[in-house]
Structure 1
Amino acid sequence: MSLAADATSTSLDVVEPAAVAVIGTGAIGQDLISKIHRSRVLDCRLVAGRNPGSAGLRHAERFGYPTSADGIDAVMAAASAFDVVFDATNAASHPHHWRLLEPLGTLVVDLTPSRVGQMVVPTVTGLAAATRRNINLISCGGQASIPVVHALATGFPVAYVEVVSTVASEVAGRATRLNLDEYVATTEHAVTTFSGVPDVKAILNISPAVPPATFRTAVHARIPGADPAAVRAAVDRAAERVRSFAPGYAVTACAVVDDRVTVTVQVTADSDILPRYAGNLDIINSAAIMVAEQRAARLGRTARTEAGR
């Protein structure tokens, strides 16, 4: 089975939706809530934050979901363990959250650059390959760049990789700014892991431009003897796979000059709540929902098997 098929072949015919909770009520958390609401196999049972007056809690209440300002304590106090917990807080908080959740058998989907769990990029790793109960989605720049970097490293002798992402200041919240060092370290680690290239650099630009800049990521690679047509074909195949779950993912430039390859991708958000320029949040959240729906499908298959005994 191809990686693309593996990443998107989840059966959504489940017996009962998976019970999920969201920790974190910033822009990422709000978009997650909307995406969970659209899913027929995920049932949001709790949205937990720290600020009782946050827009994220009000957003969840509009959907009729239970909310709490007690953060992880509210998750731990629930009457029964959740099937999936999305951690949309920050890299410093995630290790503590994981220590509490690990004994419960819950799948934890980490949207922070904590580097604690198993790294997943849907079209590169597939979803069935996720064997641990703590799944780390690296960073928005990692989700946007690694499919391209992996495609290049699979077909060509890549000697150096630089990944430069630009996000609009308006959607770079407090957690993003607190996580800048972790973002860089985790993205670089993931790019090396999935490409085999040791010489890697990651950069995140937070742009104050007006109107806000649409999320984009430029991949710069050094590939001796690169053939432009072959490079473009590999990049286009990788992008097509990503569009299976993030339809706003587009290659806007692909150039080869001597041994230097530059590929630029732009991601526009497909969201009920995010502005279109917030593709950085949309791509990582879309990956998170895919991971959770895979979990729901597995729980459904188990339930059908048990019901048939």
Structure 2
Amino acid sequence: MAAVRPKRVAVLGAGLIGVDLADKVARSPKLELALMAGRDGESLGLRRAAEMGLATTAGGVHAVVEAGPFDVVFDASNADSHAEHWAALRPTGTTLIDLTPTGLGTVIIPGVNGPRSTAHRHLNLVSCGGQASIPVLHAISKHCLPTYIEVVSTGASASAGRATRLNLDHYIATTSAAIRTFTGTRDVKVMVNLSPARPAPPFRVAMTVLADGIRPAPVRTSIAAAADTVRAYTPGYKVTSLAVSPGRISVVVEVTASGSRLPRHAGSVDIINAAAVLLAEHSAALSR
């Protein structure tokens, strides 16, 4: 049997997310990182990628189109540019995995509806908070109908780059919409905190669910199973607090980064990048 060639991929965006993503892709036996693209040739991200021996360009999405075609392109840039990037890349036949909180494309949470990803070429990973919370919230919604869901994400200020800060409104709107979709709950509130504390805290997501008819044992079992599923591709993911009482469920998860180029507190970057690489590796059905 002939060996399956690695998928040829490109990373669009040279910030912290892009650099870690490039590192994860470079370590995957199923993916071949052919190009990392940014817009500033003097950026630290492109310099680090070059030091890793990777091909780089400051030509942005247009350079990616010219260097293609690629099996997969990861958009790790910013929400305001993503629609332009999809318009440019769509005719090339690539699968575009969106790590920005635009809300465009097919929403994929690997631990919930990952198999659906192979049927689509424009994939939306919601946000780091969405990737951390939705598997748990979806698991809860199998056993009760929540009337209210509140999600508070707290990340280290040091792990939030300029694009992340500019995209906070997109983050909240896109994460809220995805939670509604996966739980069937209309009343959803999402909040984000960036903590300047030293030492930097791990990425933490606190969830509060109000619902009638909560059965503690099945809920606890389902949450544990959801956490195991996420931990299979994000080893630093864990449930640190779980309280189930009549009418209320409170869950806290933390994510510590395990990537070789990430500080441990950058779990927000680790979980969404791990999800992106997993989807790229599973996209065999769309490979040329």
- Compute the TM-score of the two structures, normalised by the length of structure 1: 0.90
Contact kept in structure 1, 2:156 and 2:265, CA below 8 Å: yes
1:57 matches 2:55 = no
Take 1:96 and 1:244, find their aligned partners in 2: how far apart are those partners? 33
1:137 aligns to 2:125 (yes or no): yes
Q: Does 1:222 align with 2:210?
A: yes
Matched position secondary structure for 2:205: strand
Residue 149 of structure 1 corresponds to 137
Instruction: Report what 2:251 is aligned to.
Output: 263
Of 225-234 and 152-161, the range deviating more from structure 2: 225-234
1:253 to 234, 238, 241: 241
Asked if residue 71 in structure 1 is aligned to residue 60 in structure 2, the reply is: yes
**In the aligned structure 2, how far is the partner of 1:293 from the partner of 1:14?**
15
| CA-atom RMSD in angstroms | 1.4
Aligned twin of 1:30:
19
Q: Mapping of 1:41-190 within 5 angstroms? A: 41-78=30-67, 80-190=68-178
Q: Deviations over 1:208-231 (max 9, x none)?
A: 111111001011000223233332
How far did residue 166 of structure 1 move? 0.4
Distance 1:262 1:169, change over 3 A: same
Gaps of 5+ in 1: 1-12, 303-309
- Give me the whole-angstrom Cα distance separating, in 2, the residues matched to 1:62 and 1:17: 22
2:176–2:190 contact (8 Å) kept in structure 1: yes
| Offset at residue 130 of structure 1 (A) | 4.1
Deviations 1:69-123 (A, max 9, x none): 1111211221x31111100001100000000001110000000001111000001
1:14 deviates by 5.3
Match of 1:298 in 2: 285
Letter in 2 for 1:57: L
- In structure 2, stretches of 5+ residues that fail to align are none
CA distance in 2, matches of 1:114, 1:215: 21
Contact 2:108-2:116 within 8 A present in 1 as well? no
Report if the CA contact (8 A) 1:118-1:130 is conserved. no
Superposed, 1:8-23 pairs within 5 Å as 15-23=4-12
CA distance in 1, matches of 2:259, 2:26: 12
**d(CA) in 2 for partners of 1:129, 1:101:** 18
In structure 2, give the amino acid aligned to 1:260.
R
In 2, the alpha carbon distance for the partners of 1:32 and 1:129 equals 19
Alignment of 1:235 onto 2:227: no
Shift of 1:258: 3.3
- Could you tell me the percent identity over the aligned residues? 51
Q: Deviations over 1:117-147 (max 9, x none)?
A: 1000001002344422110000000000000
1:200 matches 2:188 = yes
| C-alpha contact 2:41 2:57 (8 A) present in aligned 1 | yes
Cα drift, residue 299 of structure 1: 5.5
Contact 2:114/2:279 (8 A) holds in 1: no
User: Number of residue pairs matched?
Assistant: 287
- Matched residue type, 1:263: V
Partner of 1:285: 273
**How many angstroms apart in 1 are the aligned matches of 2:185 and 2:258?**
32
